[in-house]
């Protein structure tokens, strides 16, 4: 989808308050972003708790026709305050590392009962921690992992509930870095091999065959691949039950995309309902408990990165806005050539537009947020909001160029709470010799 050439409609978390002159200030819930920037500095990640909850509930409501658990994908945004917010809704969690599991347990030890552990490279230490925590399910991705899991379970005298992540070989129209459902990808096992591995697992008293898992990729906006994958999974469930396996769970993964051209919550609820129908269509009548792993679609539009313009610059015919945020704060544009809408925090309809690049101060040509973007005219010192930055923003951030990472603020109505302090230079060098 081509970038918008006008100030786009905002997700419900971020809206403009407009005065009689047509000028407006961007709010998160009921708080002006200008006030948050003055209080907490920039760059600054701002999240709306109400938007996160609205999106979680949209998933929960859409899948009401069948037993299900929404397992939020922790890698999208692993801040403890966000995990705590979701845990209070009895949300489950999808983790891909021991560190993510520790975060969930830190928030609520009993939440481990609704944790699904995915990922191709689980270590012995991570497996042992997950077994001791009593997680819901291990999504196993190789024969070697299955053997290691059985050995760890035997050593601890605990039974490990497992699902094999089967590879349905379903193509998904998404970025190649986040497509995971084809045979050439590192994820999952081929269907033919899966049946053999299920048979091996059933022979071990330390492994409990409990489900089938599938995940075809992320940022998928067409429901057809999900429907095709579930058709194959339903066939696998019937085959496995015919072989004597008691399959209780189907893990449909995550991957539902967002437009990154901001949409309203009503549009999102409709998209989730359409997605739910495509997933449930093949599963009705199977008497299974469905597990889902949304991340980006819950937290992405609930967050924005607020940045201040340091300089305006012109090289020949090329215009640049140099801002105080950089690729170390939000790497998606550099890594995926991802599009994020960028809007002025203070909107003035009397001003014209200008085609410009929005770039950061890091010493890399790839340090950009937008290229040749038509935007409202802005000045040095003005604030910009980079929208839909709640997922894979802070979680992919780094200290490249020895840059401290931003603070994070969670807004609930008229209340703003710092949920991660801004890093200092002392934080950066802690642990160095």
Q: Cis peptide before 43, with omega less than 30 degrees from 0?
A: yes
Cα dist. 320→110, 146, 327, 337 in Å?
50, 52, 16, 18
Beta carbons within 8 Å of 136's beta carbon, 6+ residues apart: 69, 92, 113, 114, 115, 116, 161, 291
Angstrom distance (rounded) from CA 253 to CA 230: 11
* HSE (side-chain half, CA atoms, 13 Å) at 258: 30
8 Å CB contact between 43 and 325: yes
Look up residue 179 and give its DSSP letter.
B
- Measured from the Cβ of residue 61, the count of other Cβ atoms closer than 10 Å reads 12
Please say if 71 is a catalytic residue. no
| Residue 93 phi, psi (nearest 5) | -140, 140
- Residue 431, token pair as written in the block: 């642990």
From the list 270, 282, 269, 233, the residue with the least C-alpha distance to 253 is 233
Sequence-distant (6+) residues with CB within 8 A of 293 are: 71, 72, 73, 94, 116, 118, 215, 251, 252, 253, 254
Buried b (16+ CB within 10 A) or exposed e, 323-339: bbbbbbbbbbbbeeebb
DSSP three-state, residue 362: coil
Q: Which of 28, 91, 152, 363 is catalytic?
A: 363
Q: Cβ-count burial of 203 within 10 angstroms (0-12 exposed, 13-18 middle, 19+ buried)?
A: exposed
Torsion of Cα atoms, 79 then 82 then 88 then 91, to 10°? -90
CB 67, CB 290: distance < 8 Å: yes
The residue with tokens 């009705």 is 284
Q: Determine phi and psi for 222, rounding to 5 degrees.
A: -105, 125
* Pairing status of strand 68-73 against strand 92-95: parallel
Locate 359 and state its tokens: 């770039």
Q: Give the active site residues.
A: 363
């Amino acid at each position: 989808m081509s970038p918008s050439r006008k100030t786009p409609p905002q997700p419900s978390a971020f809206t403009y308050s407009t005065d009689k002159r047509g000028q407006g200030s961007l709010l998160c819930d009921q708080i002006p972003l200008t006030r948050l920037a003055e209080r907490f500095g920039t760059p600054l990640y701002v999240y709306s708790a109400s938007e996160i909850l609205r999106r979680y509930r949209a998933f929960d409501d859409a899948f009401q026709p069948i037993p299900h658990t929404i397992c939020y994908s922790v890698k999208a945004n692993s801040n403890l305050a966000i995990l705590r917010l979701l845990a209070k809704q009895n949300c489950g969690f999808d983790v891909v590392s021991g560190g993510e599991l520790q975060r969930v347990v830190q928030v609520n030890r009993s939440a481990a009962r609704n944790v699904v552990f995915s990922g191709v490279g689980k270590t012995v230490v991570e497996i042992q921690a997950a077994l001791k925590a009593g997680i819901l399910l291990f999504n196993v991705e190789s024969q070697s992992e299955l053997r290691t899991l059985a050995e760890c379970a035997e050593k601890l005298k605990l039974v490990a509930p497992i699902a094999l992540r089967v590879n349905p070989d379903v193509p998904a129209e998404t970025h190649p870095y986040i497509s995971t459902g084809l045979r050439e990808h590192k994820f999952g096992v081929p269907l033919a091999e899966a049946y053999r591995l299920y048979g091996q697992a059933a022979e071990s008293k330390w492994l409990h065959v409990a489900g089938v898992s599938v995940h075809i990729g992320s940022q998928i906006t067409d429901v057809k691949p999900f429907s095709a994958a579930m058709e194959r999974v339903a066939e696998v469930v019937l085959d496995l039950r015919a072989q004597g396996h008691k399959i209780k769970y189907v893990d449909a993964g995550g991957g539902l995309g967002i437009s990154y051209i901001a949409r309203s919550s009503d549009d999102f609820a409709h998209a989730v309902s359409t997605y739910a129908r495509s997933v449930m269509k093949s599963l009705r009548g199977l008497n299974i408990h469905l597990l889902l792993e949304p991340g980006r679609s819950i937290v992405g539009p609930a967050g924005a990165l607020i940045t201040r313009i340091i300089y305006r610059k012109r090289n020949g015919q090329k215009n640049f806005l140099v801002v105080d945020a950089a690729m170390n704060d939000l790497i998606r544009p550099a890594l995926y050539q991802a599009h994020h809408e960028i809007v002025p925090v203070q909107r003035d309809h009397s001003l014209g537009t200008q085609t410009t690049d929005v770039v950061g101060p890091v010493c890399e040509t790839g340090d950009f947020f937008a290229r040749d973007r038509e935007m409202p005219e802005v000045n040095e010192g003005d604030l910009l909001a980079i929208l839909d930055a709640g997922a894979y923003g802070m979680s992919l951030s780094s200290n490249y160029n020895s840059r401290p990472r931003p603070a994070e603020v969670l807004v609930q109505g008229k209340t703003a709470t710092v949920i991660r302090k801004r890093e200092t230079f002392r934080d950066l060098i802690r642990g160095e010799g």
